[in-house]
Structure 1
């Protein structure tokens, strides 16, 4: 069965109320409360976005994310009461696309999830026909949604790929952080920390020397610029 959102959280009352709220607004949502049920869910179902808590009774949400990322590319948004920078960096590094702290406001969380679902649909259903970018060692196949360096495919998370595509398609001009929040994340709530981490991961994947990038340039006080 196809769902728009799966919630993985062992706080049963919170998970249930969040799922009920989402369903009221026609975001088809289901919740599970542990690692095994989450893995079992994807054997017979799909979801466009996953809300994943870090602290589960039977396993860490980090472990769940790493397991899911072996076969699933849909956006994963971590939801947690843990607010340390270390937890946020770990979450993004292992495959998370965003990090949302508890307690959250249902209406804001719903808006964020709806934006992610819309974005995910646009990248899977409106791919440009026979379009690709190739320069030097880098090749991006927009139709297949794949990135290659020196002929070898590079694994990309959903948000990393969307960010790279936006930078490439707007290459040569300075793109402000506000524009990236609006056009890539489609969410003004996203903070500088999330963007900075994703920029760093892009550089590590496509730059010869990530510490001295020649493609993804920081224009201090203004934003970022992709140069060929």
Structure 2
């Protein structure tokens, strides 16, 4: 079921009251009504269990715990989109954020209207129901299977939690088997935006490999094609099962 704009719950985790007030003001002007805030990691985890937000904006520098570690804890509770808000701008920082389960990375200082635009884009993607005319509903590859309707990923008979963007990426690979896909093409089709970079795709591919591959360092499903991108080798692996 698609939620109305005012029904989406947004949790802002930041100890800078000026930033929180600014974001809340802009979100309210854009029509969002269910806005929550937390200034510490402990408070944030409580708010998540109590309010079940649909998207989270997370500062990296918090007084009791760093945002990367908190992101990992949040991922054990929910797979909703997490957008980092931080002054840490190096590629290493971004890779670390994605590796802990973040879905986007917004550097300070930022344009609050850009933040709103990204939030809307992530909410739209996370709430989308796959079309029966354009997408199969169930992919069974023996070692793992994935249900596009329920978002369930089963690997060797065990259900694994899979964040939204990882789920969308795996579905994308399943929909394009045995084809070389460039990182730019993957990012544009899965994330739906042009901002970001190769590191985003690389980190999410690595996390998928850790879930579905028997040996992530020697993948049999999602393989790297040097200089070109990735290929999901479906048929060859199914013949081995």
Provide structure 2 residue ranges, at least 5 long, that are not aligned to the other structure: 1-5, 235-241
Structure 1 partner of 2:18: 13
**1:18-44 Cα shifts (integer Å, max 9, x gaps):** 121122112343333222332232343
Check if 1:170 corresponds to 2:176.
yes
Matches within 5 A, 1:73-92: 73-92=79-98
Which is worse superposed, 129-138 or 162-171? 129-138
Structure 2 partner of 1:206: 212
Check if 1:117 corresponds to 2:123.
yes
Matches within 5 A, 1:133-152: 133-152=139-158
1:77, 1:99 within 8 Å by CA — same for their partners in 2? yes
Q: Distance in 1 between matches of 2:198 and 2:136?
A: 34
Structure 1 residues 46, 152: CA separation in 2 closer, same or farther (over 3 Å shift)? Answer: closer
1:77, 1:96 within 8 Å by CA — same for their partners in 2? yes
Check if 1:38 corresponds to 2:29.
no
Structure 1 partner of 2:195: 189
Check if 1:70 corresponds to 2:73.
no
Structure 2 partner of 1:217: 223
Which is worse superposed, 111-120 or 138-147? 138-147
Find 2:61's aligned residue among 55, 71, 75: 55
**1:163-199 Cα shifts (integer Å, max 9, x gaps):** 1111111212232323322221112102111111111
1:182, 1:188 within 8 Å by CA — same for their partners in 2? yes
Find 1:27's aligned residue among 11, 32, 36: 32
SS at match of 2:188: helix
Deviation at 1:126, TM superposition (A): 4.5
Deviation at 1:130, TM superposition (A): 9.0
1:207, 1:215 within 8 Å by CA — same for their partners in 2? yes
**1:91-145 Cα shifts (integer Å, max 9, x gaps):** 22222222222112222222211110100111xx458699311123121122221
**Structure 1 stretches (4+) deviating beyond 6 angstroms?**
none
User: TM-score when scaled to structure 2?
Assistant: 0.83
Deviation at 1:201, TM superposition (A): 1.6
Deviation at 1:207, TM superposition (A): 2.0
Structure 1 residues 155, 46: CA separation in 2 closer, same or farther (over 3 Å shift)? Answer: closer
How many residues align? The count is 226
Find 1:98's aligned residue among 104, 107, 126: 104
Structure 1 residues 46, 204: CA separation in 2 closer, same or farther (over 3 Å shift)? Answer: closer
Structure 1 residues 40, 136: CA separation in 2 closer, same or farther (over 3 Å shift)? Answer: closer
Q: Distance in 2 between matches of 1:82 and 1:208?
A: 34
Provide structure 1 residue ranges, at least 5 long, that are not aligned to the other structure: none
Structure 1 partner of 2:3: none
Q: Distance in 1 between matches of 2:94 and 2:184?
A: 21
